[in-house]
Amino acid sequence: MDILQTLKELGLSDQEPLVYLALLKTEGIQPASVIAKKAGLNRTTTYKILVKLAQMGLATKTATHGITAFFAEDPERDLEDLVERRKKETEQLNTHLRQILPDIRTLKRQELSMPKMRVYEGLAGVIRAYEDTIEEQNTIYSFENIDKMSPSIKEYMEKTFVPARVAKGNFAYVLSPKTPAGIKARKDDKKYHRKARFAPANRFLIETGINIYGDKISFFSYDPTDMFGVIIESKAFAKSLREIFEFCWENSK
């Protein structure tokens, strides 16, 4: 079962893994009819699959006594070659994707029906909302309570989000409750391209995260039983939340 699954992950689909395994079990050079019996399939289907496997480099097609036949040469080498080809194809696809992303973003901005509010569920949803915060060059104004973050979100923030934000050059103003964990997290503000202030923990009972950036606002629910991220795109909302942030900032230390 593991072999079949791995072969499928390598790009073999439907009945192709079965035919390939039957080919490996077949001694010598044999026509499609012999391999079909081992695979438990009809000859026509098996022949078409063998031709496909030959194109993938997993089978060798030849002729013996005027009859088309197939055999596997070196499965270890052939499979390693297949992995290497898939790796190169993935790298090329990644390169092509990066080349067209600017055009894709332009098309997205031109799409008038794009929703102004998106909800992303689970940890992946929270991460997606955080990623949106640094897709463009913007100063970030953040309400944050590290004491309410789950360990998985803390790890993501420390290892991925903050380094990515710093690399992007997005400065952050962070307002959070004055707790031991909050103070400890802010001791390297200069290094991490941010400035923090604290509000009294007994007055600033924020349990979620809020990022204000450009014309967008992201909300983050950290509760493991109800975790999600929300992105709202609205110039008026962003301006209003930024005004609230600046008022809180001026009245914090």
Write the DSSP string, 186-237: TTTTTTTTEEEEEE-TTT----SEEEEETTEEEEEE--TTS-EEEEEE-HHH
Q: Taking 80 as the threshold, does the pLDDT of residue 24 lie above it? A: yes
Beta bridge partners of 219: 210, 230
Q: How confident is the model at residue 9 (pLDDT cuts 50, 70, 90)?
A: confident
- For residue 102, the one-letter residue type is P
Q: What is the mean pLDDT of residues 136-162?
A: 90
Max Cα distance, the chain (Å): 92
End-to-end Cα separation, the chain, in angstroms: 61
pLDDT at residue 173 in the model: 94
pLDDT digits (tens, 9 = 90+) for 63-90: 777 888 888 878 778 788 888 888 888 8
pLDDT at residue 115 in the model: 57
Residue 118 · residue 230 · CB < 8 Å? yes
- Per residue in 2-32, is it b (16+ CB within 10 Å) or e — as a string? eeeeebeebebeebbbbbbbbbeebeeebbb
Q: How confident is the model at residue 58 (pLDDT cuts 50, 70, 90)?
A: confident
Cα–Cα distance, 143 to 203 (Å, whole number): 14
Q: How confident is the model at residue 203 (pLDDT cuts 50, 70, 90)?
A: confident
Q: How confident is the model at residue 206 (pLDDT cuts 50, 70, 90)?
A: confident
Show the domains of the chain with their CATH numbers: 2-73 (1.10.10.10), 117-250 (3.30.870.10)
Q: How confident is the model at residue 11 (pLDDT cuts 50, 70, 90)?
A: confident
pLDDT digits (tens, 9 = 90+) for 97-120: 888 888 877 766 655 555 588 889
Which two tokens mark 127? 């991460």
Average pLDDT, the chain: 86
Choose the weakest-confidence range: 27-36, 39-48, 185-194, 229-238.
Answer: 185-194
Q: Taking 70 as the threshold, does the pLDDT of residue 141 lie above it? A: yes
Neighbours of 129 (CB within 10 A): 24
pLDDT digits (tens, 9 = 90+) for 217-237: 999 998 888 889 999 999 999
If one compares 126 and 110, the residue with the highest pLDDT of the two is 126
pLDDT at residue 113 in the model: 52
